[in-house]
Chains A and B, each alone.
Chain A
Amino acid sequence: MKYCNNCGVILEDDMQICPLCGYEAGTNSASPEPVVSQPAATLTRQQKKLVWEIVSLVLISSIIAALLINLIVNKTISWSEYPVAVCLTIFSYVSFFAFWSGSSAARMLGGFITSAVLLLLLDTFTGGLSWAATIAIPVLLVASLITAIFLSITRHTVSKGVNLIAYAFIGSAVLCVAIEGILSFCHTRTIRLEWSLIVCLCVLLVAIALLFLHFRLKKGRSLEKTFHR
């Protein structure tokens, strides 16, 4: 008869690993991973590198294409600054998430600092500092913060469903307010909000509907159990 050497129960002959404690049958060696544990859904280092290479290739070709077209058509670098800026930002974040082994917060911070530096450099080399410090970096900061908060909420939410979409909507609404605020402050030195408030109102209604759908209808959550006395 076959025993588990760790918890001492009788195993079937075809059981290689004890289903209770995850120890290998018939040996004294422990397999530290219990068999019930789910395989991790993260990419291996090799896969991450491959993804990074593909993304980098696409970004670099986009940057080159944008710059070339702008130069050929307008004989100067004007509008291509913006797609290039976007590509550089994406590139720095992707690089940090692919190769940095720290926590998500550290990766976000690394991505933010690198893209800020790259944006400043880009702005400097294309006709002096004009938009990077006053608009691009503040917007990027707010966007990074909102994304970080969203990711942390997603991680800590037990029941994942349309409520996450609602949170994403709320996040984008806040981002819109921030963008309009930053733009208006940059141009007029005062904060005046117009279109972002309309966006907020619309998005909020959608978010409420989604949250209602999730908490009240989909899960069948009755208010009685929360508020019973």
Chain B
Amino acid sequence: MPNIQTNDFWLRLDNAAKIYPAIKDKELTSVFRVAVVLKDRVKVKAMLEAVNEIENRFPYYKVTLKAGFFWYYLEQQQGPIPVEADLQTPCRAFKKRELMFRILVKENKISVEFSHILTDGTGAFEFLKTLLLVYFEKCCIPLADKPVFYDPGEKPAPEEYEDAYSRYFKKIDAPHIKTPGAFHVPFSLKGKPRFSVLTAIMPIAQLSQKAKALGVSLTVYLTAVYLHALQQIHEQQPRLKKNINRKILRIEVPLNLRKLYPTQTMRNFSLYILPQIDLRLGHYTFEEIVKTVYHQMQLETDQKLINKMISRNVGGERNTLVRNIPLFLKSLFLSRLYIISTKQYSGVVTNLGKIDLGTAANHLIEQFIFIAPPPNKVLRVNCGVAGFGDNLVLSFGNITTSKELERYFLTFLTHQGIAVKIINS
């Protein structure tokens, strides 16, 4: 465990974070964004005061990345949390020696951007929630029913620092079954800077009604729509390409493990499930996709299977050989591993869930936007989802010249009678 009291504060990277230093670069930044759009413009004085107040509440984020001999580690960094005007592309990379998160403000939008090395969507969202509630306090807006949040005056609990993967690691000796590679969208890459985001907003009620009619959750429904859009793209390829390209369409759906394993950790603690359809078996109707995705997700969220995944990941990290090879060799190996693992899926649907900050605070907020980290050259497109109030916001991250996937995805929804609106993100 890290020595939290002394000035010699440092942290090991958590199990999921270990891969990111090896792969991150200027384009593939591993940085994601959680943003909140308020009904009123941001008051800059109150904002700066709020940031100042929560300054020391999240010490595990006020760190920089350092290279050790065997592993990277996080070292405490003094100095204020940067608050900047939000005028550049989202999810920009962090420079060396810089903190690996930032707060961005523009008009009525407050965004936080975190490197995945520090935390996952849940951690970043909890940080934003705390910042937002303290900001409202500083604006002298009394809130009757506040949700549970991190009191800036409190000391962080030691459990907030923990690597929960390690805590719930159990050695399991079941062999890993290799997943065959999946189809990837064939669009050509954009010139640098590649990353662009398309944000669409739609009424939750209409979507929920559609999902409910099929007896599934929103995540299952959206994953099915994604697979359906991918199927259309696959089928519209020229015959030769269709035969050459892989025929399995697979979506990575991140899973917040805090719901399965009790922990207060504020660092990464999520894994993923990979629902798929295999086009070698023929064309799937939308209803068939929904059905198979639903059942696969039910099966794959089984705790025993998740235990096996944790065991494989943490077991790899604890392997004597892996531990004892120097960092630069390890990084080569890890970046290779990352490419292999992204080849397994064709898309990502990451859902932050339905956000509720209590009636009083909800009245001050227009919507939340969740932008997943820029996809890599294999994956090329991904999708972040956040629900708030009456609306659901989808953000498609894209590094290609084509918006075909987004078009198929959103047209499908409009054909279902859902009012989709594209907004400026």
Is B10 in the interface zone, CB < 8 Å from A? Answer: yes
Of B6, B66, B71, B85, the contact of A6 (CB 8 Å cutoff): B85
B48 touches A7 (CB 8 A): no
Taken residue by residue from 9 to 43, chain B's Cβ proximity to chain A (1 for < 8 Å, 0 otherwise) reads as 01010000000000000000000000000000111
Of B42, B69, B70, B324, the contact of A9 (CB 8 Å cutoff): B42
Taken residue by residue from 1 to 44, chain A's Cβ proximity to chain B (1 for < 8 Å, 0 otherwise) reads as 00110111111100100111100000000000000000000000
A158 touches B97 (CB 8 A): yes
Of B41, B43, B70, B83, the contact of A227 (CB 8 Å cutoff): B70
Q: Given that A225-B75, A229-B70 are known contacts, is A9 also in contact with B7, CB under 8 Å in the complex?
A: no
A7 touches B70 (CB 8 A): no
Is B84 in the interface zone, CB < 8 Å from A? Answer: yes
Is B302 in the interface zone, CB < 8 Å from A? Answer: no
Is A103 in the interface zone, CB < 8 Å from B? Answer: no
Taken residue by residue from 38 to 68, chain B's Cβ proximity to chain A (1 for < 8 Å, 0 otherwise) reads as 0001111101100000000000000000101
Is B106 in the interface zone, CB < 8 Å from A? Answer: yes
Could you say which residues of chain A place their CB within 8 Å of the CB of B6? 220
Q: Given that A4-B44, A7-B87, A9-B44 are known contacts, is A229 also in contact with B105, CB under 8 Å in the complex?
A: no
Tell me, rounded to whole Å, the shortest Cβ–Cβ distance linking A90 to chain B: 36
B71 touches A229 (CB 8 A): yes
Residues 71 to 94 of chain B near chain A (Cβ within 8 Å): 71, 73, 75, 83-87
Q: For the complex, what is the distance from the CA of A221 to the CA of B108, rounded to whole Å?
A: 43
Q: For the complex, what is the distance from the CA of A8 to the CA of B40, rounded to whole Å?
A: 11
A12 touches B68 (CB 8 A): no
B73 touches A20 (CB 8 A): no
Is B323 in the interface zone, CB < 8 Å from A? Answer: yes
Tell me, rounded to whole Å, the shortest Cβ–Cβ distance linking A27 to chain B: 16
Tell me, rounded to whole Å, the shortest Cβ–Cβ distance linking A180 to chain B: 37
- Chain B interfacial residues counted at CB < 8 A: 31
Of A8, A226, A229, the contact of B324 (CB 8 Å cutoff): A229
Could you say which residues of chain B place their CB within 8 Å of the CB of A222? 8, 10
Could you say which residues of chain B place their CB within 8 Å of the CB of A221? 8
Tell me, rounded to whole Å, the shortest Cβ–Cβ distance linking B326 to chain A: 11
- Chain A interfacial residues counted at CB < 8 A: 23
Is B98 in the interface zone, CB < 8 Å from A? Answer: no
Q: Is the interface of B mostly helix, strand, loop or mixed?
A: mixed
Q: For the complex, what is the distance from the CA of A16 to the CA of B228, rounded to whole Å?
A: 53
A7 touches B73 (CB 8 A): no
Could you say which residues of chain B place their CB within 8 Å of the CB of A189? none
A19 touches B42 (CB 8 A): no
Could you say which residues of chain B place their CB within 8 Å of the CB of A187? none
Residues 174 to 229 of chain A near chain B (Cβ within 8 Å): 220-222, 225-229
Q: For the complex, what is the distance from the CA of A19 to the CA of B6, rounded to whole Å?
A: 33
Nearest CB in chain A to that of B109: its residue: A8
B8 touches A8 (CB 8 A): no
Could you say which residues of chain A place their CB within 8 Å of the CB of B47? 9
Tell me, rounded to whole Å, the shortest Cβ–Cβ distance linking B296 to chain A: 38
Tell me, rounded to whole Å, the shortest Cβ–Cβ distance linking A161 to chain B: 15
Q: Given that A228-B73, A229-B324 are known contacts, is A10 also in contact with B87, CB under 8 Å in the complex?
A: no
Q: For the complex, what is the distance from the CA of A15 to the CA of B7, rounded to whole Å?
A: 36
Nearest CB in chain B to that of A225: its residue: B10
Most chain B CB within a 10 A radius of its CB, from A6, A9, A21, A222: A9
Could you say which residues of chain A place their CB within 8 Å of the CB of B41? 3, 8-10
Could you say which residues of chain B place their CB within 8 Å of the CB of A11? 44-45
Nearest CB in chain A to that of B41: its residue: A10
A8 touches B48 (CB 8 A): no
Is B300 in the interface zone, CB < 8 Å from A? Answer: no
Is B107 in the interface zone, CB < 8 Å from A? Answer: yes
Q: Given that A10-B41, A10-B44, A229-B324 are known contacts, is A20 also in contact with B84, CB under 8 Å in the complex?
A: yes
Could you list some 14 contacts between A and B, CB below 8 A?
A7-B85, A7-B105, A8-B41, A9-B41, A9-B42, A11-B44, A11-B45, A12-B45, A15-B44, A20-B83, A220-B6, A225-B8, A227-B70, A229-B71
